[in-house]
Structure 1
Amino acid sequence: MSKPKTCPIDTLKLGSCVDVLGGLVHIGIGKSAKEKCCPIIEGLVDLDAAVCLCTTIKAKLLNVELVFPIALEVLLGCGKKPPPGFQCPAEISPVASPPVAKPPTATPPMAKPPTASPPIAKPPTATPPIAKPPGTTPPIAKPPSATPPIATPPTSMHKPNTCPINPLKLGACVDVLGGLIHIGIGNNAKEKCCPVLEGLVDLDAAVCLCTTIKAKLLNINLILPIALEVLLDCGKKPPSGFKCPA
């Protein structure tokens, strides 16, 4: 049995319960008060439950004459029946709370002899990379400079009695000459022949006409006299007595 007029539990557990009761002085008991109080006083006998509430109300410095009547109603609501005419004792014995374990006093740590601290490993200094001597690079072969082509002297002049141009260029000229055997030379013959013969020397111009006439399978004996007249009109003077080479 617990001592009379002594709360057998830690009154701090009833703190939230009493806070709710203090707020219900002029309101009335609600569900919240029972939820806060009943679980804590459930394991106490009726008288102990009443004493614990008194103790906690006084510890909270609340007006016990106002709050305790509400506390009695809560006790009844929690199934506790304090003795009839119970009143909070004027002087309540100290709460039988479990002794608070004092934390062990921190004993100052013994001054340990200074241990030789290991040397701090310095970070390795970054050594600059050793510049390797440049290897002997093979000389870069320079592209051969473009030497201007040596102008080779013109070979010996074309063979005598040969045409130095393509005789086909004189084809139109000879065609006109073949149609003039019995007519005579006109402007059309000059227009066809003179521009082609312009860059040739006199003898070459005559030989080219002979070559083209033979290539056309025309009668050279008939056409050559007309061709010689065209040469003269084009400013060319073949040697006197010129004949087509055999």
Structure 2
Amino acid sequence: MNNIEFKHLILNAKYFTKYEPIINIKTQKIFAYEALSKFEIDNNLISTEEIFRHLHHNNKLFFELEKRNKLLQIKNFPKKKKLFLNFDADICVSNEQQSYWELFLNELKDNIVVEITENGSDDETSANIMRNFSLWLNSKQIDTALDDFGQDGSMFSFYMMNGSKYIKIDKSFLRQIECNRNYLHYLKGILKTIRLNGQLSIIEGVETQADYNLVKTLDCDYVQGYYFDEYQIVV
């Protein structure tokens, strides 16, 4: 697929947003929602990860697409809860992009948490872009969440971890614990560190009753996953 064909497909794709609840583990009530995006191209659902791998080579198209997507995510979100929005640092590198997102986020900052996502690359350039994005968000006093902590292929950065209000523990932890219970002690240590640092933890990947029973025994703040209800908007 060439760049022209890809751009045409992306701009004309049907766009889905699922709002997945984030549950307070102690009260068992909904604390917030995360907006999760998918695109339908030729009747096939394609993950945002697949789309974004292409978009990282086209910053202008990536920025324009995310402007549309974030506006729709906000517009179609009726709940009076916090909304976690995934942001890739690569769409906030130029002065134009920073000016746009500053205005967009400032109007919503009391209800928005920016999830800082990775593009799958751990090279020095990507690390610097993410670090600068985190620094920029903190300077604007916008709450952030470090997404997918512990995911395969993700980079670990004390700076990124220390600069985030929320730490989202990747679902791979629960999957590993299913195979080897020794990893439970590792997870407990991470959760203790997060709490001692005055941060808030969110365990992702709660998909079964067994998962939920396990996380209720842990000293975490919030949980998230397919075990809980979600609703979907199609545009």
Q: TM-score, normalised by structure 1?
A: 0.24
Larger relative contact order (C-alpha < 8 A, sep ≥ 6)?
A: 2
Question: Normalising by the residue count of structure 2, what TM-score does the alignment of the two structures yield?
Answer: 0.25
Greater radius of gyration (CA): 1
- Please state which structure has a larger fraction of its residues in strand: 2
